C-alpha cells in the first residue's frame, strides 16, 4: 500500500511511503500497520491513500494525482539537520512556513524509508522502494498551529539501524490536517547521507519568484505577468483549471531582463474562460514557479 502524503508545487517532490501492513509480510512495521488500521478504511490491495482516502479503483489514481499536482501548497517546507555515519545517529528539523492568510492547524509526521530492497513476494512483487522503516517518534505525529507568515520548526532525533543501508535511506516529513478532511498540505524528503555536513535543504519554493502576476484578480482578456529572467531565456507557461485540465500552453523567450507578458485566457483559441480560480506553472531551464489566477 502506498500513502500519498501531500502534493506540493513540483511533481518530482511528491512524497510517498510504502507500507507492508500485514503481519508476516516482508518489511512489516507495527507502526505502519497501526497507521493504516487506525486512520483509514481501505478496499484491498493495492491501495493508494491520498488525503486520507483510499482511492479506488486503480483507474482513479492518475486523474487524482494530475489534478492535485496543479494546486499550489499554502506551506513552504525547509529541511535541515545533521547525520554522523560513525554513530548512525542524527537529527532532522522540518520548518513549515504558513504562506496563507489564515492560521493552519495540522499534524506533522516523520518516517525513515529505505529504497531498492529486493524480496520476491507471493504476488510477484520483487522490488520495494520508500519502504517505511521507523516513524519518528511514532505514527501519531505532532499537532502544530501556524499563524499567517509564521513558521513551525519540528525536530526529531533518529538512528539508522545497522541492518539498513544508510545510503538508501530517506527521511520523509509531511503536514496533514486531521479528520474529517485529512488534507495533505505539504511534504518533502531528504536522503539521510545528504544530512552529513549539510545545514539546510530547501525542498519547495524558490525564495524570490521570477514570475509574478501584476493584476490579480483580472479579466480573462488582460492577464499580465512580470517575468524577471536573463534576456534570451526560453520558457513554457501552462495554465490549468482547478480540475487539472490544461487551458492554455504558451512557449516563449524573454526579450529583456524584465518584461511584461500579457495573455488572453481562452480555451485553445476558442471562447474565453469563465470566472473563477485557475492555476499556472512556469518552467524555464533554471527556474520553476507556480501560482493562482483569479478571473472575475
- Percentage of the residues of the chain whose pLDDT score is greater than 70: 86
Note whether 195 and 219 are same-domain residues: no
Residues 19/36, Cβ–Cβ less than 8 Å: yes
Residues 247 and 101 in one domain: no
For 265-295, the pLDDT digits (tens) are 776 555 678 888 888 888 888 888 888 888 8
Domains in the chain: how many in total? 2
Return the pLDDT at 14.
Answer: 55
**14 against 103, higher pLDDT:** 103
Residues 111 and 223 reside in one and the same domain = no
Which position has the higher pLDDT, 295 or 12? 295
Distant-in-sequence, close-in-space partners of 62: CB < 8 Å, separation ≥ 6: none
Residue 4 has pLDDT above 50, yes or no: no
Compute the average pLDDT of residues 220-234.
88
Beta bridge partners of 143: 107
pLDDT band at residue 136 using 50, 70 and 90 as cut-offs:
very high
Q: Tell whether 152 and 132 lie within a shared domain.
A: yes
Q: Which among 202, 225, 256 is the end of a domain?
A: 202
Verify that 239 and 122 share a domain, yes or no. no
Are 126 and 231 in the same domain? no
* Mean pLDDT over the full length of the chain: 82
Provide mean pLDDT across the span 67-76.
82
Q: Is the peptide bond before 57 cis (omega within 30 degrees of 0)?
A: yes
- The CATH number of the domain holding residue 228 is 2.60.40.1930
8 falls in which pLDDT band (50, 70, 90)? very low
Query: Same domain, yes or no, for 38 and 130?
Result: yes
229 in the same domain as 155: no
Model pTM score: 0.63
Q: Which of 228, 249, 199 is nearest to 83 (CA)?
A: 199
Residues 215 and 198 in one domain: no
Kindly state whether residues 151 and 283 are assigned to the same domain.
no
The residue out of 202, 237, 271 marking a domain boundary is 202
Peptide bond into 60 cis (omega under 30): no
- Whether residues 39 and 81 share a domain: the answer is yes
150 and 22: one domain? yes
What is the residue range of 48's domain?
A: 2-202
Among 136, 170, 202, the domain boundary falls at 202
Asked which of 54-58, 106-110, 253-257 is least confident by mean pLDDT, the reply is: 54-58
CATH of the domain at 187: 2.60.40.10
Amino acid at each position: 500500500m502506498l500513502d500519498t502524503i501531500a502534493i506540493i508545487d513540483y511533481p518530482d517532490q511528491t512524497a510517498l511511503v510504502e507500507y507492508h501492513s500485514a503481519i508476516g509480510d516482508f518489511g512489516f512495521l507495527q507502526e505502519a500497520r497501526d497507521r493504516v488500521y487506525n486512520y483509514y478504511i481501505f478496499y484491498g490491495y493495492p491501495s493508494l491513500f491520498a488525503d486520507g482516502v483510499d482511492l479506488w479503483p486503480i483507474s482513479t489514481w492518475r486523474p487524482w494525482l494530475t489534478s492535485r499536482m496543479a494546486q499550489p501548497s499554502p506551506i513552504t517546507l525547509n529541511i535541515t539537520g545533521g547525520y554522523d555515519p560513525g554513530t548512525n545517529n542524527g537529527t532532522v528539523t522540518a520548518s513549515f512556513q504558513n504562506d496563507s492568510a489564515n492560521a493552519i492547524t495540522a499534524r506533522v509526521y516523520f518516517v525513515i524509508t529505505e529504497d531498492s530492497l529486493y524480496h520476491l513476494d507471493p504476488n510477484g512483487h520483487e522490488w520495494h522502494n520508500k519502504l517505511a522503516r521507523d516513524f519518528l517518534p511514532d505514527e501519531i505525529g505532532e499537532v502544530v498551529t501556524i499563524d499567517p507568515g509564521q513558521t513551525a520548526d519540528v525536530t526529531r532525533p533518529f538512528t539508522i539501524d545497522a541492518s539498513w543501508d544508510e545510503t538508501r535511506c530517506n527521511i520523509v516529513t509531511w503536514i496533514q490536517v486531521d479528520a474529517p478532511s485529512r488534507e495533505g498540505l505539504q511534504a518533502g524528503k531528504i536522503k539521510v547521507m545528504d544530512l552529513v555536513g549539510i545545514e539546510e535543504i530547501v525542498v519547495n519554493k524558490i525564495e524570490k519568484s521570477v514570475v509574478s502576476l501584476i493584476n490579480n484578480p483580472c479579466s480573462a482578456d488582460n492577464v499580465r505577468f512580470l517575468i524577471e529572467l536573463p534576456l534570451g531565456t526560453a520558457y513554457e507557461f501552462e495554465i490549468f483549471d482547478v480540475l487539472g485540465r490544461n487551458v492554455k500552453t504558451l512557449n516563449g523567450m524573454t526579450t529583456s531582463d524584465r518584461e511584461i507578458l500579457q495573455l488572453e485566457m481562452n480555451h485553445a483559441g476558442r471562447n474565453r474562460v469563465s470566472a473563477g480560480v485557475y492555476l499556472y506553472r512556469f518552467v524555464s531551464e533554471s527556474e520553476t514557479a507556480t501560482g493562482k489566477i483569479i478571473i472575475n
